Structure 1
Amino acid sequence: MEELVGVAEIREMLGGNLSRQRVHVITSHRDFPAPAQKLKMGHVWLKRDVEEWIKNRK
């Protein structure tokens, strides 16, 4: 089963020092991976896609 992450987990993956609002801005960029699902509670992404995006940004 693929591991999913939301805004809180992405914030931690990015170092934890960003605001939730800033993470929402980052995840809305066109180069950020598309969400795996759009739920009522918010979007979720495949963790491996987010990890790859972070790796390519450094």
Structure 2
Amino acid sequence: QITLPLQKEMGFYGVRNTAQAGNIILSSPAGRIRLVISSRGRIRLCSEQQSMAGIHLCL
């Protein structure tokens, strides 16, 4: 299941090398992963419930 907890659109803006910040929740019976996009276009993953291999807990 994919959840978009935003009321605004997400996008990347190449002219200014920025992005619309936000996050996407990916969930399955194994757990929930948050894909976080920063305003500078950095993308990272974190786990909402438990630490997973290579994915830290969200702070």
Give the TM bin, normalised by the shorter chain.
under 0.3
After TM superposition, the score normalised by the length of structure 2 is 0.24
Pick the structure with more strand per residue. 2
Pick the structure with more helix per residue. 1
More relative contact order, 1 or 2 (CA 8 Å, 6+ apart): 1
Higher Cα Rg, which structure: 2
After TM superposition, the score normalised by the length of structure 1 is 0.24
